Every structure is written in structure tokens, then in C-alpha cells.
């Protein structure tokens, strides 16, 4: 389990912003490949807050919540929300030092 680094207030704000986003990465039947992890990492560097979509073929093989948690752990991001087959990830572009308590 990843340690929570965001307050409840910050998580709610990010969740609200995440509703308006379009998914920028799609996880398919191959799951969390190195290429997918690199792309998620690049998108987080560029945008900070992204939405990831899990296709039905991925959800059949793995639990969506576990997939989202594992992906967040691999890219040093915070899992903001999982709704249906969609997850919202956040990593501050300036680094986590501001959020460490």
C-alpha cells in the first residue's frame, strides 16, 4: 500500500479537475508494460494530472483498483480516484517535497 501524500481537501480538488479530463493512456490486455509505464511517466511530467483508461481486456485479467495502485506506485504518483474503468493519477511537476508532511 502506498503512503497517502495528499490531504483530503487536495484530493477532492484534484478529483473535481479529473472529471473534465480525457484519458491520455489506455491499458490493454498486455497490462502494465514498460512502454506504457514510460508513457504514463512522460504524461505526468508534462501535465501533472492525468486520466488512465483500463480496457475491458485488462479488467478481465486483473482487478482495476490493484492495477491503478500498482501503476501509481511504479511512476511515483498519487492515485486520486478510480471510477469504473478509469483512474486519475497525480504527480506534482515541481516534486513531492511540498507535499511531504
Predicted local distance difference test score (pLDDT) of residue 39: 96
- Does 53 fall in a domain? yes
- Does 38 fall in a domain? yes
* Domain count for the chain: 1
> Is the per-residue pLDDT at 101 higher than 50?
no
Domain interval for residue 58? 8-92
- Does 100 fall in a domain? no
Q: What is the CATH number of the domain that holds 36?
A: 3.30.110.60
**Crossing angle of helices 64-74/34-47, nearest 10°?**
70
Predicted local distance difference test score (pLDDT) of residue 97: 60
How sure is the predictor about 99, in pLDDT bands with cuts at 50, 70 and 90?
low
- Does 70 fall in a domain? yes
- Does 40 fall in a domain? yes
Percentage of the chain surpassing pLDDT 90? Answer: 72
Q: For 56-91, what is each residue's pLDDT tens digit?
A: 988 888 899 999 999 999 999 999 999 999 999 999
The pTM score is 0.88
Predicted local distance difference test score (pLDDT) of residue 85: 94
DSSP string, the chain: -PPP-S-HHHHHHHHHHHHTPPP-EEE-TT-S-HHHHHHHHHHHHHHSEEEEEE-HHHHHHS-HHHHHHHHHHHTT-EEEEEETTEEEEE--TT-GGGT--
Q: Cell triple for residue 94? A: 515541481
14 within 8 A of 90, measured Cβ to Cβ:
yes
- Does 97 fall in a domain? no
Amino acid at each position: 500500500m502506498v503512503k497517502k501524500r495528499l490531504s483530503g481537501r487536495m484530493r477532492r480538488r484534484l478529483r473535481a479537475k479529473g472529471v473534465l479530463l480525457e484519458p491520455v493512456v489506455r491499458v490493454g490486455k498486455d497490462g502494465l508494460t514498460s512502454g506504457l509505464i514510460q508513457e504514463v511517466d512522460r504524461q505526468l511530467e508534462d501535465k501533472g494530472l492525468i486520466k488512465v483508461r483500463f480496457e475491458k481486456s485488462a479488467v478481465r485479467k486483473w482487478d482495476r483498483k490493484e492495477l491503478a495502485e500498482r501503476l501509481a506506485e511504479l511512476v511515483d504518483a498519487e492515485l486520486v480516484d478510480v471510477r469504473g474503468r478509469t483512474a486519475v493519477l497525480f504527480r506534482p511537476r515541481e516534486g513531492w517535497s511540498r507535499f511531504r508532511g
